[in-house]
Amino acid sequence: MLNFRNDYSAGAHPAVLEALCRTNLELTPGYGLDPYCEQAAETVRGLCGCPEAAVHFLVGGTQANKAAIGAFLRPYEAVIAASTAHICAHETGAIEHNGHKIIHLPAPDGKLTPELIRSAAAAHTGEHTVLPRLVYISNTTELGTVYGRGELRSLRAVCDELELLLYCDGARLGSAMDAGHTVFSDYGETCDAFTVGGTKNGLLFGEALVIVSPALRHGFRHCMKQQGAILAKGRLLGVQFSAVLKDGLYLTLAARANALARRLAQGLEELGIPLLVPAASNQLFPILPAAAAAELEKHAAFEIQEQLEGDRVCIRFVTAWNTADQDVADLLAVLKTLPER
């Protein structure tokens, strides 16, 4: 069975696993207060060009979003997000569980724009509505689209204008940087806080949260602990991040996933299979007749994104650092054989 289900089906990149094995029996203080985490944090600070940033390592993305956003907002402050955003659609109301409303904005390509943000701010004034305070973006987005440097700067500008915080969920930040030609320091320059995702790019698990704005740093480890988000053997996160951030492995892995997706997208185009949004990173959203999708499920694992009108279905293919070249070729071969695709 070919696997294009997601980019977290396998374990860790061998270099990461090797680092975990090598350090396994060392004895270090717990809770992330160890030299490995300190070194990884320092590396992240260096890459981002934020020598004063607070860097925290958390196990997962929902956990990181929930802990961060919960720490940053006062009770009546709200989040602005695209309605396809992970926090809107895939985290079982984790942000609302912390007490904060998310203002959902329609964005067909999954990307917020200054105009959308301004409209949300304009629609929420006075004491009887929540106060928009934080703009949540994900890069890459949940539709695989990508913000480039100019877009990040435009979002920063509108956030400055409206006194909003800018938070970037970087669960797939490596893929976003490769695809959109951004670098770590672009996020350090434009975001109040952002995550560097490890789970989907070579780690067993782990997201690094970079808190750039001084005003947001205070008390965050208390918040993490209260959320159940401090790992006892915290060094496991530091060890893993150090391994992928060394020698550019983080970007190498992401570039490989993107390259495989480009090859797959080209094949899809040649087969005349349309996409929901243009291919941009390691997630593709082809549209197939329902019967073809059903047939395809016998050969490949993938997610159903959305039922469409006219008995069609939008599915999702995801490539990862560990996807084999041959798997892409095999998937295209299967697709070629599908009826009425």
Least distance from its own copies to the Cβ atom of residue 233, Å: 5
Q: Which is nearer to its own copies, 35 or 46 (CB)?
A: 35
Q: Which is nearer to its own copies, 68 or 146 (CB)?
A: 68
Least distance from its own copies to the Cβ atom of residue 238, Å: 12
Q: Which is nearer to its own copies, 16 or 48 (CB)?
A: 16
Q: Which is nearer to its own copies, 60 or 289 (CB)?
A: 60
Least distance from its own copies to the Cβ atom of residue 111, Å: 20
Q: Which is nearer to its own copies, 175 or 227 (CB)?
A: 227
Least distance from its own copies to the Cβ atom of residue 121, Å: 14
Q: Which is nearer to its own copies, 118 or 222 (CB)?
A: 222
User: How would you write the chain as a 3-class SS string?
Assistant: CEECCCCCCCCCCHHHHHHHHHCCCCCCCCCCCCHHHHHHHHHHHHHHCCCCCEEEEECCHHHHHHHHHHHHCCCCEEEEEECCCHHHHCCCCHHHHCCCCEEEECCCCCCCCHHHHHHHHHCCCCCCCCEEEEEEEECCCCCCCCCCHHHHHHHHHHHHHHCCEEEEECCCHHHHHHHHCCCHHHHHHHCCEEEEECCCCCCCCCEEEEECCHHHCCCHHHHHHHCCCCCCCCHHHHHHHHHHHHHHHHHHHHHHHHHHHHHHHHHHHHCCCCECCCCCCCEECEEEEHHHHHHHCCCEECEEEEEECCCEEEEEEECCCCCCHHHHHHHHHHHHHCCCC
